[in-house]
Amino acid sequence: MTSTPMDQEQPAVDRAYRALDAARSSYRRQQRKAEAAGAQGSPQARSERDAIAAHFGDQATRLEQVEDKLVFGRLDMTSDHAPSPRYIGRVGLSEEGKTILVDWRARAATPFYRATPAHHEGVVRRRHIGTKLRKVVSVEDDLFDVSASENVSLAGEGALFAAMNSARGGHMGDIVTTIQAEQDEVIRSEAKELLVVQGGPGTGKTAVALHRAAYLLYSEREKLQRSGVLIVGPSRRFLRYIEQVLPALGETGVVSVTMGDLLPGISAVSHDSDALARLKGSLEWIKIAKRAVASRRRIPEAPITMRVSGVTVTLLPEDVKAAARRAKQASRAHNVARTTFALTLLEKLTDSYLAADENLSSSDRAWVREELRTNIDVKRNINLCWMPESATALLRKLYSRPQLLAACAPSFTAEQVAALQRPTDAAFTVEDIPILDELAELLGPSDVFAAAARERVARQEQAIARAQQALDMDGLGGGIVNAQLLAERTQGQADSSTLAEKARADRSWTFGHIVVDEAQELSPLAWAALLRRCPSRSFTVVGDLAQRTGTSAKDWTEILGPAARGYSGTAILSICYRTPQTIMEAAEKVARALGRPIDYPVKAVRDLPDCLRLHQSEGLARSVSQLAQIACEELDLEHGTGQGQVAVIAEKEIRQKLTFSDPRINVLSARASKGLEYDVVILVEPIQMQDRPGDLYVAMTRPTKRLEVVYSEKLPEGFTSK
């Protein structure tokens, strides 16, 4: 019986899974060994062994997450490019000291993504291997070096087209098996500076950014495993959509947030109008914030007399001024400096108290200081000179007190000040978050939190020293665990927080790298907030100028604002793997007709017949319901029952009238659909979006198969089915 290409590849896949099982078992054994020793020795020794056990457990868990589609590629190389064949997978694996599976991020795997017939890099044949439950189910081949291919057989039609034609699910899948050459160039580029990835709809820019994060976590693990990677997405729906990509690639040291969730303890979802968003996103708020914080400090115009336990003490303006000067030298942060300010004034008032009562001596100083510290009048008057403040309370004061805002923002017109007014109990918007972050930076933490931070640093230094001693004495780790890692693990036993949890809870956390998706939407002030979280300016910035919601920016330098100083260049993705060419051409035509230039047009790799349909209807809800039902039935027939995703994109008034029982049908706004994709998109009344050409362009370019346009009277300029 003749064997198939799938049969031929099964032994190599079996071998890789045996190695994976062995590695996981080894980590679990070492975990159990460390746990077994944990009952002996001092409490500190037990804690350190628990940390080592946790480390081995994490390694086993990481390997358990790459179970699905472990092996996905094979390279057959020319004789001068050993080893051959070379199998490519999600992680690297060895057997008896010999590499049997190459991590897709390793240098040896690069030809799998870069080779072309013109530049084959020693590759004779590239084979994509599809597996399901450890069984090889498909093989797709690409031939690159015809002269060396006499004994090479080919199979399949191509992995990329198979991936494009598959049904969409509720979560993004990784593209590790189908990364294209222009995408791989971006993924493997260095992380020293800010890189912009400009890509039109369907070019895979989000997937590229996520795989770049995974690549950096592999190539710069020593740096990033302690600081982590921050991913900033446009919406929570988007973050849910991408949440499975990095774990499937074996990486978990990542924090994912929207700008609305950037600050611990604050969550903002709603957005301001475009005009108000532009006002709140201005860098002018840096000056406004400084003036607002300064307004929390004042020098009294005259001496303040107070009666404390029968003794009169006086708070002098010159003493307040001297204390303020000393406090500013001690710290730039308002709340932290306030501690120095208050202590300095307490010492002055103590001197005044002792001088006023001749029955007291210097030995009574501690008692007098405590009397003053707990006196309500003393506390009130010191607070009035240097008010403790929180960012949220101060911004609420600015928004609810027009005179205060006008004094702090002299460049704002009366109309702008009025536009910013709102009640003190109003919820914060996404656009408020960068302002709050600016205020929080100037105010600083309370003195309690500042002391806790200093204590954490001291504990970390002591823990590293103890960890090194434990490793030396017990011989644990075998070179896998170092003192830094053990110290972090040991301390982590107290709160069991992951890196992501710690970073999410700490506003001052700095990341080793930041990925920003849909970056064209960020304001200059938002960029300032992100720069604060990555002083090294190591960013991957992905977006599309044509999809910007507000007015179109001229270029990325303008978009980046204060981040432009670290701008190292733009990588352009020009090939659309999602949307059929007919739909792309229609979307670009409509955008240009509405005044939105498409400076970076893309070329779709395929087209589909009858993929753009226009429906004029008086009963919009009925028509949309029928089209959605038909779309689901067609997806059931093509891909199986319950497979695929349908989107209904419309303005709020229309969305409120639509209800569907099928969970595959998603009803959302154009803005909420950014970064997402669906098999079929039903676009309702696009005329209502014509004043936001960027949003309309986004809505039209979400489908992978078909765009249904439903309208009652007329379509925006530029619409055509041809």
Q: What pLDDT was estimated at residue 373?
A: 92
Q: Which helix (H) or strand (E) holds 571?
A: strand 567-573
Please give the tally of structural domains in the chain: 3
Query: Which of 95, 130, 155 marks a domain boundary?
Result: 155
Share of the chain above pLDDT 70, in %: 86
Where does 197-333 have alpha helices with state H? 205-219, 221-227, 236-242, 245-248, 274-280, 284-294, 317-330
Give the start-end residues of each E strand in 603-677.
603-604, 612-616, 646-649, 665-668
Q: What pLDDT was estimated at residue 165?
A: 59
Mean pLDDT (whole number) for 107-119: 84
The span from the CA of 206 to the CA of 575, in Å, is 14
- Boundaries of domain holding 685: 609-711
User: For residue 460, is pLDDT > 80?
Assistant: no
Q: What pLDDT was estimated at residue 302?
A: 95
The span from the CA of 165 to the CA of 183, in Å, is 20
Q: Is residue 58 part of a domain?
A: yes
Mean pLDDT (whole number) for 451-479: 50
Higher pLDDT, 559 or 41: 559
Mean pLDDT (whole number) for 40-44: 65
Q: What pLDDT was estimated at residue 225?
A: 78
Q: What pLDDT was estimated at residue 173?
A: 64
Q: Is residue 462 part of a domain?
A: no
Q: Which residue type occupies 21?
A: D
Q: At a CB cut-off of 8 Å and minimum separation 6, what does 138 contact?
A: 6, 128, 129, 130, 156, 162
Find tokens 């710690």 and name the residue: 502
Q: What pLDDT was estimated at residue 478?
A: 41
Q: Which helix (H) or strand (E) holds 86?
A: strand 86-89
Instruction: Kindly compute the dihedral angle of the four CA atoms of residues 249, 253, 258, 264, in this order, to the nearest 10 degrees.
Output: 160
Q: Which residue type occupies 292?
A: A
The per-residue pLDDT for range 404-440, each reduced to its tens digit, is: 999 999 999 999 999 999 999 999 999 999 999 999 9
Can you tell me whether residue 105 is helix, strand or coil?
A: coil
Q: What pLDDT was estimated at residue 149?
A: 44
Residues annotated in a binding site:
199-206
Mean pLDDT (whole number) for 359-374: 88
User: For residue 695, is pLDDT > 90?
Assistant: yes
Q: Is residue 48 part of a domain?
A: yes
Q: Is residue 190 part of a domain?
A: no
Mean pLDDT (whole number) for 586-608: 93
Q: What pLDDT was estimated at residue 487?
A: 54
Highest mean pLDDT among 57-61, 153-157, 684-688 belongs to: 684-688
The strand pair at 93-95 and 71-77 is best described as unpaired
Q: What pLDDT was estimated at residue 453?
A: 45
Higher pLDDT, 450 or 57: 57
Q: What pLDDT was estimated at residue 468?
A: 55
The span from the CA of 139 to the CA of 71, in Å, is 12
Q: What pLDDT was estimated at residue 408?
A: 98
Q: Is residue 623 part of a domain?
A: yes
Q: Is residue 115 part of a domain?
A: yes
| CATH number for the domain that contains residue 628 | 3.40.50.300
The span from the CA of 228 to the CA of 252, in Å, is 9
The per-residue pLDDT for range 1-23, each reduced to its tens digit, is: 568 889 999 999 999 999 999 99
Of 189, 164, 212, which Cα lies nearest the Cα of 575? 164
As a whole number, the mean pLDDT across the chain is 86
In angstroms, what CA-CA distances link 428 with 271, 287, 417, 522?
Answer: 9, 21, 17, 17
**pTM for the whole structure:** 0.80
User: For residue 156, is pLDDT > 70?
Assistant: no
Instruction: Name the β-bridge partners of 141.
Output: 127
Mean pLDDT (whole number) for 549-559: 81
Mean pLDDT (whole number) for 686-708: 96
Q: What pLDDT was estimated at residue 151?
A: 52
In degrees, rounded to 5, the angle at the alpha carbon of residue 153 between the alpha carbons of residues 151 and 155 is 170
The span from the CA of 626 to the CA of 302, in Å, is 78
Q: What pLDDT was estimated at residue 494?
A: 42
The span from the CA of 285 to the CA of 261, in Å, is 20
Mean pLDDT (whole number) for 605-626: 94
User: For residue 158, is pLDDT > 90?
Assistant: no
Q: Is residue 655 part of a domain?
A: yes
Eight-state DSSP code of residue 297: B
The per-residue pLDDT for range 484-541, each reduced to its tens digit, is: 555 554 544 444 456 777 888 899 999 999 999 999 999 999 999 999 999 999 999 9
Q: Is residue 438 part of a domain?
A: no
User: For residue 469, is pLDDT > 70?
Assistant: no
Rounded to the nearest angstrom, the gap between the alpha carbon of residue 72 and the centroid of all alpha carbons in its chain is 27
Residues annotated in a binding site for ATP:
199-206
Higher pLDDT, 144 or 262: 262
The per-residue pLDDT for range 470-484, each reduced to its tens digit, is: 545 544 444 444 555
Q: What pLDDT was estimated at residue 163?
A: 60
Residue 506: CA count within 13 A, CB half-sphere? 21
The per-residue pLDDT for range 183-229, each reduced to its tens digit, is: 888 888 887 789 999 999 999 898 899 889 888 888 888 788 788 89
Query: Which of 385, 408, 435 marks a domain boundary?
Result: 385
Q: Which helix (H) or strand (E) holds 231?
A: strand 229-233
Of 283-287, 334-338, 430-434, 493-497, the one with minimum mean pLDDT is 493-497
Mean pLDDT (whole number) for 326-354: 93
Q: Which residues of 8-44 are buried (b: 16+ CB within 10 A; e: fewer)?
A: ebbebbebbbebbeebbeebbebbeebbebbeeeeee
